[in-house]
Amino acid sequence: MRRAKISVIGAGNIGGECARAIAYKELGDVVLLDIPEKEGVSKGKALDLACVAPIERFDARLTGTASYGDIEGSDVVVITAGVTRKPGQSRDDLVGINAGIVRAVSENVKKYAPQAVVVVVSNPLDAMVYVAWKATGFPAQRVLGQAGALDVARFRAFVAMELGCSVEDVSALLLGGHGDDMVPLPRLTSVHGIPVTDLLPAEKIHAAVERAKQGGGEIVKLMGTSAWYAPTAGTVQMVEAIVRDKKRIIPSAAYCEDEFGVAPGQRGKGLFVGVPAVLGAGGVERVVQFPLQADEKALLDKSINSVRELVGVVKRMMPDLA
């Protein structure tokens, strides 16, 4: 049986860390690609990681490159190419630059890896997944974005810190866009099956939700650039579910029309929104729907509207992608 081939576009902080984690987990061979001016960085990181293999004992071929020909035959392509936000910037402030970058990358993915599942990480996430979908022309099931896996991980970490318990015992779900408009679901958050609402007062839960929403910004303020360890962990969790065909339910930016009332009955006019998705070899194999309470639905609608507005900005910038 041949190993899976996973290409990571953008050999920066997240790209390099993705290559490392994918190789450590032996999910497949890795191609790390950056722009020609950074070819030395992608080659250097790939070589450095290849020399970790004897110590950490993993078998994976790592290739650094600036040539798209090397991604040919990829099963999964992870797009991390783009600029990061600086202190004081929101993710949405990146749309002008990153839409062009993600579009150019996606056109190459279409040409060189037409069968791949594409996992987008570049921000503003929900709009960048839309760009990748339109620019590749791939079926929506094969294009998805990493946001919910990270947001949920941050929320679980903050709940566990508050309770002084293991993060392993905290289970949670969030919906909606990446960032300020994400929709917390405290009623579906539990600690080893015990509803968190029975364990923490409402204000503590609210504080954990707000910290998860602002978690990215908190780190940007501290480091001057955006986070990479947890975003990578979320991304690699998704890649693993796909290449191992695990059918894991992971909150992902997945294409929705009727699902959660995003664009009911409007064929081809849907949006990528954070929802629980069954991830397997085909990419997003199913969006898991469940009834929302009125206040949750109102928050989700607000979040969907924010995504729609940002996609509107992209459509005005690139009318041929509309």
Structure tokens at 200: 């923490």
Total binding residues toward ligand APR, as defined by CB under 6 A: 25
- Only segment of 74-82, 155-163, 247-255, 265-273 that touches ligand APR (CB under 6 A): 74-82
Asked if 228 touches ligand APR (CB under 6 A), the answer is yes
Q: How far is CA 146 from CA 87, 149, 178, 224, 233, in A?
A: 22, 6, 9, 22, 10
**Residues facing residue 311 across a β-bridge:** none
The residues in 232-271 that bind ligand APR, with binding defined as CB under 6 A, are none
Give the residue with the Cβ less far from ligand APR, 122 or 306. 122
Among 60, 81, 144, 273, interactor with ligand APR by CB under 6 A? 81
Q: Toward ligand APR, which CB reaches closer, 152 or 185?
A: 152
Q: Return the closest-CA partner of residue 110 out of 83, 125, 91, 131.
A: 131
Nearer to ligand APR, 44 or 261 (CB): 44
CB nearer ligand APR, residue 38 or residue 156: 38
- In whole angstroms, the minimum distance from the beta carbon of 83 to ligand APR comes to 6
Q: Which stretch binds ligand APR (CB under 6 A): 155-163, 224-232, 257-265, 279-287?
A: 224-232
Instruction: Indicate if the alpha-carbon torsion angle 12, 20, 230, 81 is positive or negative.
Output: positive
Question: Exposed/middle/buried for 203, CB within 10 Å: 0-12, 13-18, 19+?
Answer: exposed
CB of 66 to ligand APR, least distance (A): 8
Residue number with CB closer to ligand APR (17 or 259)? 17
Binding mask 84-123 vs ligand APR (x if CB under 6 A, - otherwise)? Answer: x---------x---x--x--xx---------------xxx
Strands 183-184 and 174-175, by their bridges, are antiparallel
What CA–CA distance (Å, rounded) separates 146 from 135?
Answer: 18
Q: Do 269 and 263 meet the contact criterion of CB atoms below 8 Å apart?
A: yes
The reply on whether position 65 binds ligand APR by CB under 6 A is no
Strand order in the sheet with 76-79: 62-65, 29-33, 5-9, 76-79, 117-120, 143-145, 248-256, 271-280, 283-287
Phi, psi values for residue 143, rounded to 5°: -135, 125
Site string for ligand APR, 122-161 (x = CB under 6 A): xx--------------------------------------
- Helical H segments across the chain, by residue range: 13-24, 39-50, 53-56, 95-112, 125-136, 148-163, 202-223, 229-243, 294-317
Annotation marks residue 192 as catalytic? no
Name which of 224 and 264 has its Cβ closer to ligand APR. 224
Catalytic residue among 5, 45, 103, 178: 178
Interaction mask 2-41, ligand APR, x per CB under 6 A: -------xxxxxxx------------------xx--x---
Residue among 275, 273, 306, 303 nearest 130 (CA): 273
Contact between 215 and ligand APR by CB under 6 A: the answer reads no
Q: Minimal CA–CA distance to 208: which of 244, 239, 170, 177?
A: 170
Which residues neighbour 68 within 8 Å (Cβ) at sequence distance 6 or greater? 33, 108, 111, 112
- Which amino acids are annotated catalytic? 178
Q: Which chain residues interact with ligand APR by CB under 6 A?
A: 9-15, 34-35, 38, 80-82, 84, 94, 98, 101, 104-105, 121-123, 226, 228, 231
